[in-house]
Amino acid sequence: MLRTSYLFSSVLTPHDVKRDGRVMNFASDNWTGAAPEILDAVMRASEGTAPSYGSDDLTKRVEARFCEIFECECTVYLVATGGAANGLSLSVMTPPYGMVLCHEQSHVQMDECAGPEFFTGGAKLLPIAGPGGKLTPVTITKALAGFPERPPHGAPANVLSLTQGTECGTLYSVDALTALCDAAHDAGLSVHMDGARFANAVASTGATPAELSWKAGVDVLCFGGTKNGCLAAEAVIFFNKAMAKDFEFRRKRAGHLWSKMRFIAAQFDAYLTDGLWLKLADHANAMAKRLSDGLCAIEGVEVSYPTEINEVFAVFPDGVAEKLRDNGATFYPWITPGDPADGKMHRLIASFKTTHNDVDDFVDNVRRLL
């Protein structure tokens, strides 16, 4: 029985398969290359020399730029992977004997190979169910009620970890996010946000980055760039600056202090200039919505969750997914805890490079097969 969220090369082609010169690749935004503006910035950063380990002017400029975008004085640390961002940020938010509440489908729970447990030194993750990848104040309160304070036997709850947008492609509104953060803080928990697709959330909701983060009560945000046009660029943003006290040591100890930090900074410098990050995310969202609308119009196909960012979750009639792959389409089966489709769901992701033709070819293939 498959117990992970992904099926890898055994069911996917090792490279893009084309039909009539077109690509129907909806495997992941991680498969997509980097935006030209990002590559150009990296090339420029390679000219000449610069101080190492983040003491260069470019890194300092990017840190200041984050403060402008989020409308506050925040502390920013750059890392190369989302797993490092999540694990390291949680490591300063909970002691090894503490507990982190998260959704049962969250990336920290399902897809980081116990990385959060490793970085925190063994903190417990408490996975909580919730429809559409989301939690509510009620579900948090109920979960906490099941773990009353029993020192030294029970692990104390320290952190609520949220994902925006969620693993189901859904979004927390500003009001919903604020209510969650209020409930967490009232219970003595700090709030961590996995923002691997934070750009898609901002582009979709129209809310400001500040409204979807610290103004709602988020203490630490892992701001992702890799899935949305960067090569390898993630930022850990501390709105609660006191929590960043020893992060620089943890980052170094974990091997995530890049000696040539300017190459991560260069990516963010381009990414955050002239709203590029939102333009790329907005295009990916639009392509996913086009795909979702097209599939919803086909009798026999079910879209499992609202398409609010660049992810579409669909259930096809038996045999159709296999035939689509035979025709050159690339996408993942998607099996997770609380699976509402009994193992028949598939995830399709659009990126900043997805075209109208990619979407229309896929929808046309589904229509012909049915």
Number of independent structural domains in the chain: 2
Residue 13 domain flag: no
- Do 290 and 352 have their domain in common? yes
Residue 12 domain flag: no
Residue 56 domain flag: yes
| Cα(319)–Cα(208) distance, integer angstroms | 43
228: Cβ contacts below 8 Å, ≥ 6 apart: 29, 197, 199, 200, 271, 277, 280, 281, 284, 351, 352
- Do 172 and 232 have their domain in common? yes
- Do 298 and 252 have their domain in common? no
Please say whether the beta carbons of 370 and 31 come within 8 A. Answer: no
Q: Give the residue numbers spanning the domain of 314.
A: 18-31+277-369
Q: What is the pLDDT of residue 5?
A: 41
Q: What is the pLDDT of residue 279?
A: 98
- Do 62 and 128 have their domain in common? yes
Q: What is the pLDDT of residue 6?
A: 40
Q: What is the pLDDT of residue 147?
A: 85
SS3 content of the chain, % helix, strand, coil (to 5): 40, 15, 45
- Do 248 and 352 have their domain in common? no
- Do 78 and 108 have their domain in common? yes
Please say whether the beta carbons of 127 and 102 come within 8 A. Answer: yes
Nearest to 228 by CA among 255, 202, 251: 202
Please say whether the beta carbons of 233 and 308 come within 8 A. Answer: no
Residue 4 domain flag: no
Please say whether the beta carbons of 79 and 236 come within 8 A. Answer: yes
- Do 254 and 297 have their domain in common? no
Which of 221, 241, 271 marks a domain boundary? 271
| Cα(126)–Cα(142) distance, integer angstroms | 12
Running along the chain, 370 residues long, what does each successive block of 10 average in pLDDT?
A: 37 44 84 96 95 96 98 98 98 97 97 96 97 96 90 94 97 98 98 98 98 98 98 97 95 96 98 98 98 97 97 96 95 86 91 96 95
Torsion of CA 212, 216, 219, 221, to 10 degrees: -10
